[in-house]
Chains A and B, each alone.
Chain A
Amino acid sequence: MTDATVAGGDKIRCDACPVMCYIKPGAAGACDRYANHNGELVRVDPHIVLEQTVSHGGRLVPFQAGGGDWDGKIVREPNVFVTAIGAGTTYPDYKPAPFIVSSEVDGVDMVTVVTEGIFSYCGVKVKIDTDRYLGPETATVRAEGEAIGHVTTSEYGSQMLSLGGVHHLTGGSKKEGRVTCDALMDLSNCKPVELTIDGGATVVVQAGYPPIVNGVAEERMRVGCGSATIGMFAKQWHGKVDEVVVVDDHITGVLSEHQAGKLLDIPDTGIKMKGRRSTPGRYFQVADPGTGWGGTNISDPLSVLGPFNPKEARPGLTMLMVSTTGEHAAYYELDEALRPIEKQMPPDLRFSVERIQENCEPALCTVLFMGGAGGSLRAGVTDNPVRLTRSVKDALTRVTSGGAPVYVWPGGGITFMVDVMQMPAGAFGYVPTPALVAPIEFTLRLSDYAALGGHMDHVRPLASLRDNTETRPMPYIPGRRA
């Protein structure tokens, strides 16, 4: 029933209530409920009202106007799983964990102990799919100029960073701790973070997105370097073409000289590469880095070749040039003067180029959160913390983080890793210690819970959480439950 009158400019005057706000395009009125959308008054959230809490603009707590049932709860049926996100915690944890919920799963009375752990020793491991040079191993990684971690090993076409940990969170200056905590939380909540590496690159990392290295977004993760690509595809080229050059910023591969070519008795072609020869058929620095062929700065692949040696080369010799990702490719035949002339590529060579492309996966950043459930957190679950550890090791207790599966590292304690992309949005918080707050759930049989000294008097039936303001919506991910 609400109408609006168009006032000066594109402002509109809302008459939803007697405040009669003038609202600019793209802005909301004083209530945050009505907004100006291209000159039209729209209700921003028809059934969700805003309850602001401790400070202005605080948490949004959705509920239905009539006091009816919630939609989009953590708790859902069937086979409900309660996550720890938003559960709060009771550190120091001599007190029982905030929610100890019992539910029936497959006819077994299960208990999920839901808590949020404060992880002051935690960190993240970042895997960046790129062949671009990010910086030397052990170099310091910085956010906002503060040291928050280091470059660790480079493995299989990806560069690993190790960030956070106790030394940066609490061992350095106050600012270092705060910046580290912010960076870890943003990375864990799948937000972009700009990192600079001493003696290396600036890279924007966001879980689930390609890395942006020195302002350039990486697109594909190469199947291997140029040399590796020769090795992988040599057999497929054998007999179809005389020479193949895989152009790559790191290591450019040449089929006839490469070990893989030798094993197939591919004869010499008289090709002459520019750049620095590493081992036979493998060349460094054929060009400068860039955004052209194979991560180099070239647009004409012939510019990495010198003249063919007339002792071995012959007119009519065929050659495929392709970049490591298969994004660029060209086919040549030598003319009478032994000059490569571009020709239409035969279909079977076209197919091999597509095969290279197919094997290059999209380059991504991935973030694993790594934390340890310390003794005090475990005490929130049971009065004999070590029994919980043993129970996890014996696989009687299943550990999850925000409902996502974790890998529990063997050895002492409960040190776990979780892929942050599998966790619901906004799963991580922090305390000014500084430390991260992450959800952790322990699921086990009610009888096992009693046996390990669980806080039986605090077990609540799942139904008691329903219609409760303590629940909040999270995306439901099928197939993931206790």
Chain B
Amino acid sequence: MKRFPQIALLPDGKRLHLQDGPIDLVIEAKGGESDVGAAYEAAARRFTGLLDELCEELVELRRAADPIRCPLKGVVARRMHAAVAPFAVDHFITPMAAVAGSVAEEILGSMLRAARLDRAYVNNGGDIALHLTGGEQFTVGLMDRPDHHGVMQTISIEADDPARGIATSGRHGRSFSLGIADAVTVLAKTASQADAAATIIANAVDLPGHPAIVRCPANELQPDSDLGARLVTRDVGAIRESEIDDALQAGVGRAQQLLAAGLIEGAALRLLGETAVVGATGIKTGVLPAFRGSTIERIAHV
């Protein structure tokens, strides 16, 4: 028996919602009516069976990536590997670090092959693949901390910016972080690259050995975590302002390396109320409109 994912339009009648297992996509396309319809149909078709495809290679996907050799077969799995490979020389990283962005990219690709769209996005739990043409732009609200309601900044991406992928990583998310960042949002040329880079930069925002940081082996929390017994951050106690700066600077240093290497277009790093921005165009700092609650969801898709 073949499993079918959940496929439905959201109540606004405009956005498409696809869900299968842990994958949750919210999709919106702008263009002619028949193009949008064709794009949504293509997205739903490509999505059906995608999780099974990934799970066939799940054991390999959860292993540390080889920086050169890719043993994977599936197109999404290979994209995941390609996204993390540049980091695999210096870091422990598995292709799973880029799963969300890679899936988003794959679905967006299927839509663009099926239709002409002015603008589209595939949002996979905060990791977003973008399509922009002409005068279109995309505005993203950055949340300070997911457990508080506050958008601290907005990022605008114009059609002539190179970024087509956005991803956020941090210790409050569904996946574990080795670092202490509340949120690191990365702009990159593709969603899969953004996803991998956000993980790496968020891991770098850290104060190794600090007594106020509570860490726990990942596999004690999730027995089959790809991080194994590596210590993941569970809580951050009282740390001094200067230490916040130290931790952020560690992340900024890593982000600057990635920027220089052309792996990212920009990043916003957030820790305990402090923000650092690296290279990104379109990231507006300073006092901003207050958006909260469900509005965040709305502005994320402006």
- Chain A residues engaging chain B, CB cutoff 8 angstroms: 11, 16-24, 27, 29-32, 49-59, 61, 63, 65-67, 70, 85-91, 98, 116, 118, 144, 174-175, 178, 185, 426, 429-433, 437, 467-472
A31 to B21, CA, bound (A): 6
Chain A binder among B34-42, B103-111, B142-150: B142-150
Cβ of B273 within 8 Å of any chain A Cβ, yes or no, is yes
Q: Which of A16, A23, A70 contacts B21 (CB 8 A)?
A: A16
Contact of A468 with B141 in the complex, beta carbons under 8 Å? no
Interface residues of B in 183-211 (CB under 8 A from A): 183, 185
Interchain CA distance A66-B295 in the complex, whole Å: 22
Q: Which residues of B contact A (CB under 8 A)?
A: 3, 6, 8-12, 17, 19-22, 24, 26, 51-52, 55, 58, 123, 125-126, 140-144, 146-152, 168-170, 172-175, 183, 185, 220-224, 238, 241, 273, 287-300
Instruction: From known contacts A22-B224, A56-B125, A432-B144, infer whether A51 and B297 are also in contact, taking CB-CB under 8 Å.
Output: yes
**Inter-chain contact A471/B294, CB cutoff 8 Å:** yes
**Bound: A45/B151 CA distance, A:** 27
A18 CB to nearest B CB, Å: 4
Residue pair B290, A55 in contact (C-beta under 8 Å)? no
A431 touches B287 (CB 8 A): yes
Other-chain contact of B125, A52, A70, A432, A470 (Cβ < 8 Å): A52
Selected from B287, B290, B294, the residue in CB contact (under 8 A) with A469 is B294
Query: Does the CB pair B51–A18 fall under 8 Å?
Result: yes
| With A19-B21, A24-B222, A63-B11 as contacts: A56 and B173 at CB distance below 8 Å | yes
Nearest Cβ on chain B to A52's Cβ, whole angstroms: 4
Q: Do residues B21 and A87 form an inter-chain contact, with CB atoms below 8 A?
A: no
- Inter-subunit contact A51/B8 (CB<8 Å): no
With beta carbons under 8 angstroms apart, the residue of A17, A21, A23, A61 that contacts B294 is A61
| A51, B146: Cβ atoms closer than 8 Å | no
Identity of the chain B residue whose Cβ is nearest the Cβ of A178 in the assembled complex: B273
Give chain B residues whose Cβ lies under 8 Å from the Cβ of A472. 293-294
Contacts of B172 in A (CB 8 A): 55-57
Contact across chains for B273 and A432 when beta carbons are under 8 A apart: yes
Which residue of the partner chain B has the closest CB to A22?
B223
How far is the CB of A144 from the nearest CB of chain B, in Å?
A: 7
B8 and A66 contacting across the interface, CB-CB below 8 Å: yes
Whether A429 contacts B290 in the complex (CB less than 8 A), given A52-B174, A86-B295, comes out as: yes
- Complex contact B290–A18 (CB within 8 A): no
Give bound CA distance, A98 to B298, whole Å. Answer: 12
Q: Which residues of B contact A437 (CB under 8 A)?
A: 150, 290, 292
Tell me, in angstroms, the Cα distance from A178 to B221 when the chains sit together: 32
Residue numbers in B under 8 Å from A51 (CB-CB):
17, 24, 26, 125, 297
B21 & A30 in contact (Cβ 8 Å cutoff): yes
A56 touches B238 (CB 8 A): no
Beta-carbon contact of A175 and B152 below 8 Å = no
Residues of B within 8 A of A432 (CB): 144, 150, 152, 273, 287
With both beta carbons as reference points, the residue of chain B lying nearest to A175 in the complex is identified as B241
- Residues of B close to A429: CB separation below 8 A: 148-150, 290, 292-293
Contacts of A67 in B (CB 8 A): 8-11
Least CB separation from A17: chain B residue: B21
A54 and B292 within 8 A (CB): no
A91–B58 touching, CB < 8 Å: no
Does B222 lie within 8 Å of A59, measured CB to CB? Answer: no
A411 vs B70: C-alpha distance when bound (angstroms):
73
Interface contact A55-B8, CB-CB below 8 Å:
no
Name which residue of chain A comes closest to B169, CB basis.
Answer: A56
A53 CB, min distance to chain B CBs, angstroms? 5
Cα separation A246 to B21 with both chains bound (whole Å)? 67
Given contacts A53-B296, A56-B174, A59-B294, contact A27 B148 (CB under 8 A): no
Q: Can you list 20 contacts pairing A with B, beta carbon distance less than 8 Å?
A: A11-B223, A21-B224, A32-B174, A52-B174, A53-B297, A54-B140, A54-B151, A55-B170, A57-B174, A58-B143, A67-B11, A86-B295, A175-B241, A430-B150, A431-B152, A432-B273, A467-B12, A469-B10, A469-B11, A470-B295
